[in-house]
Structure 1
Amino acid sequence: MGAVPERGSYDVVIVGGAIMGSAAAWFLTDMGFDGRILVVDRDMSFAKTATATSTSCIRQQFSTDLNVRISQFGAAFINDLRRYMGGDDRVPEIGIRSFGYLYLADTQAFAEDLRARAAVQAAAGAETRLLTPAQIAEDYPFYALDDIVLGSINTKDEGYFDSMAVFEWLRRKAREQGVAYVEAEVVGMEVAGDRVQAVRLSSGERIACGTVLNAAGPRAGQVADMAGIVLPVEPRKRYSWVFKAERPLDRDLPLTIDPSGLHVRENGGGTYQAGGQVGPDPAVDFDDFEMDHALWEDWAWPLVAARIPQFEAIRLTHSWVGHYEMNTVDHNAILGPHPEIGNFLFMNGFSGHGLQQAPAMGRGIAEWLCHGAYRSLDLSGFHYDRLLTNSPLVEAAVI
């Protein structure tokens, strides 16, 4: 890894080296891609990426069949990471701490949404259960449920996993298998006709390319603009808080999605993690990670304590701000080739669920580049074309 590419030409240039870009790079090498791959990222510490600032969880509870199946593969990949990586003894056995996601509905309309989603999930093989307030209270007696009419939970392959370990091994194995990583910023592209001919780096180099893959996270719209492409992806702030409870719960806390929009989950050792966003949700500057400290006292803590009265006595230990790469059209991935500039590929717009989708998306992009088609899951529903024809593929279960 360095600041200057060793070559002036690569078959694939991946813009963005966090979990999406590294998943694509690793799957390409694993499928035996016959070409040279360069990953370019402006900050190889990845400290401010959506990967590093995420909730580090995976769920099956989506409103679209394809997203359920994508996360099912993600769970299989996480649970069997070492085998997927060739049985390498250095790769840790990770697994998923499946405490589940618990959606709480406080209106009949929201309850009907949960029922409809559960039917989609069940048809895809997920083990989602709908719970009455009495059933929730029996399994999790610490909640205040006076306003709740229905809950939805799945405790199989749904919960916490060590996302940074998965990311680190995708990146490490990609590099060991010949992928070049360079710390630089792509600042321009040369487009001629229906192809990107080259990218230009902040360090001054011109890199000719066979394919460009946009895996730039919240900066994806900026990267697409260099090729003259409009991409409706924006950075949106999301807040996270970790707190220690004076009286920890006597069982795992599911990742609980309160009707207010706040979520809170088990973190281990008597600590818990809450997160969310309140009020207007505007696009923000790419470098805006400023914490609004009043949100904890004025919004998050009161909601946590109201839903789980045992959490009235807690101590905030640390907090941070991350960004969603929000697809403002339908909150779903934008994947695959541009319909006119055919060697410009998207891997963007995951709207908060990208981390868990990285294995399936990386595999899909690799299949497209190696075979010219998807061979595992048909991901063509995520193609850019739907934006041109005003045919959104809406994902309603966005946290």
Structure 2
Amino acid sequence: MSEASMRVVIVGGGAVGSSIAWHLKAQEGYAGEVVVLERDPTYARASSSLSASSIRQQFSTPLNIHLSRFGIGFLRRAPELLGVDLGLREPGYLFLASPAGEAVLRANHAVQAAEGCAIELLEPDALRARFPWISGEGVRLASHGVANEGWFDGPALMQAFRRKAREAGARYLADEAVRLRPDGVDLLAGGRLEAGTVVLAAGAWSGALAATAGIDLPVEPRRRSVFVFDVRKPPGQTPLTIDPSGTWFRPEGRFYLGGTTPAEGNDPAGAPLEVQHQEWDEMVWPALAARVAAFEAAKVVNAWAGYYEYNTFDHNGIVGRHPAVESLVFATGFSGHGMQQSPAVGRAVAELIAHGAYRSLDLGQFGYERISAGRPIRELNVV
């Protein structure tokens, strides 16, 4: 067997790609070479660096719940496993539903309850009793995660995966894959890097790169703005709260983070990575001020924009081998969930490559076959 055929090239060195690299080098009996291609070693535009880095169990798809359940346990063990404290906080998520959204929230809760998630439904009176600072105006039902949900230092997780992967023998190459091939990738710097397996973990740019091999992959960059704001008097203990309008907020140290889903017609693929300040003025602040009295005097102190690797097909990750090109493995399209799912996805993809099958958690449901067959598995709880 040739040296190239034993090589795995991972395109993308963010949280998912670096998690795969580390887990692969840790697989018992695996002796192949692992090369990680990262076109921007500064990670200045990487989604892993620009993520709000939260984790939840409140999904509508059981497999997403399983992925994040492993993830929360991994984050708690990060000092032991990765040698870094990720500052994990677990105040939970709080989803607020209008009368129009009540049925979906109840249906999602039924899925979560069947999976053993610690999620409570709160009627308006119970919501106000639990969180006196919140206005119940227009809220018919709330869903609150009482355990296993919160936020953490995502960039630190990504860098820890990268460091541990390199320590384990993975090689990081500062270059860009400009074309996928069945036996490797063509590089921007020139030449071809041959491989027996290519893992496409290029985040928001995965769809464009797949197209160079004639593969239709419905993943594209979608811009999201995050605002850092200060208030005179904090309202009290605050979970990550999602308003019926789509606006969300959570604490971050002495400040708060907030954002929203862009208005219809203002969410083009590949939009410039620039903060949309009008979203604060027109959408975020009005929703915050109406929901929390303490936020009426909120003041923006910072902001940034990052890309979701948005799966336009069904908002779920695309993971596993291409059905016709066995040497190509996908790990992309997580639609804002990649950071929290990177530990479990890294483990699963490493098992698939090293052993030919998933061993711990079967991600076959998220395979590419569903796309080519037109069978979406829709995730309804997308923030």
**TM-score normalised by the chain length of structure 1:** 0.92
1:303-326 Cα deviation digits (max 9, x unpaired): 111110111112110011111111
Q: Are 1:119 and 2:105 an aligned pair?
A: no
Hey, what does 2:346 align to over in structure 1? Answer: 362
Over the matched positions of the two proteins, sequence identity in percent amounts to 42
Amino acid at match of 2:45: K
Q: Secondary structure at the match of 2:376?
A: coil
Give the conservation status (yes or no) of the 8 Å contact 1:20–1:361.
yes
Match of 1:102 among 94, 98, 101: 94
Hey, what does 1:3 align to over in structure 2? Answer: none
Give the conservation status (yes or no) of the 8 Å contact 1:11–1:211.
yes
1:374-389 pair list within 5 angstroms: 374-389=358-373
Hey, what does 1:331 align to over in structure 2? Answer: 315
How far has the Cα of 1:84 moved from its partner?
3.2
Give the conservation status (yes or no) of the 8 Å contact 1:27–1:366.
yes
Hey, what does 1:43 align to over in structure 2? Answer: 40
Hey, what does 2:244 align to over in structure 1? Answer: 259
Hey, what does 1:154 align to over in structure 2? Answer: 145
Hey, what does 2:203 align to over in structure 1? Answer: 217
Q: Secondary structure at the match of 1:377?
A: coil
Unaligned runs of 5+ in 1: 1-6, 86-90, 191-195
Hey, what does 2:234 align to over in structure 1? Answer: 248
How far has the Cα of 1:92 moved from its partner?
2.4
1:156-183 Cα deviation digits (max 9, x unpaired): 1201112122211111010011101011
**TM-score normalised by the chain length of structure 2:** 0.96
1:351-398 Cα deviation digits (max 9, x unpaired): 111110011111110010111111111110000001111111111110
Structure 2 CA distance for aligned equivalents of residues 252 and 168 of structure 1: 30
Amino acid at match of 1:101: Y
Q: Are 1:65 and 2:62 an aligned pair?
A: yes
Give the conservation status (yes or no) of the 8 Å contact 1:96–1:157.
no
Structure 2 CA distance for aligned equivalents of residues 116 and 299 of structure 1: 27
Structure 1 CA distance for aligned equivalents of residues 65 and 41 of structure 2: 31
Q: Runs ≥4 in structure 1, deviation > 6 angstroms?
A: 7-10
Give the conservation status (yes or no) of the 8 Å contact 1:9–1:207.
no
Give the conservation status (yes or no) of the 8 Å contact 1:98–1:157.
yes
Structure 2 CA distance for aligned equivalents of residues 273 and 10 of structure 1: 45
Amino acid at match of 1:244: D
How far has the Cα of 1:10 moved from its partner?
6.2
Q: Are 1:170 and 2:161 an aligned pair?
A: yes
Amino acid at match of 1:276: T
Match of 1:200 among 163, 186, 191: 186
How far has the Cα of 1:189 moved from its partner?
3.1
Structure 2 CA distance for aligned equivalents of residues 241 and 95 of structure 1: 20
1:265-314 Cα deviation digits (max 9, x unpaired): 11122x1000122312543327x112222221222111111110111112
**Over aligned residue pairs, what C-alpha RMSD do you find?**
1.5
Match of 1:16 among 1, 12, 15: 12
Amino acid at match of 2:101: F
Q: Secondary structure at the match of 1:78?
A: helix
Structure 1 CA distance for aligned equivalents of residues 103 and 270 of structure 2: 37
Amino acid at match of 1:294: Q
Aligned length: 379
Unaligned runs of 5+ in 2: none
1:207-229 Cα deviation digits (max 9, x unpaired): 11110000000000011112221
Q: Secondary structure at the match of 1:92?
A: coil
Match of 2:295 among 311, 317, 321: 311
Q: Are 1:292 and 2:284 an aligned pair?
A: no
1:41-83 Cα deviation digits (max 9, x unpaired): 1101112111111111100000011111110000010001233
Give the conservation status (yes or no) of the 8 Å contact 2:208–2:220.
no
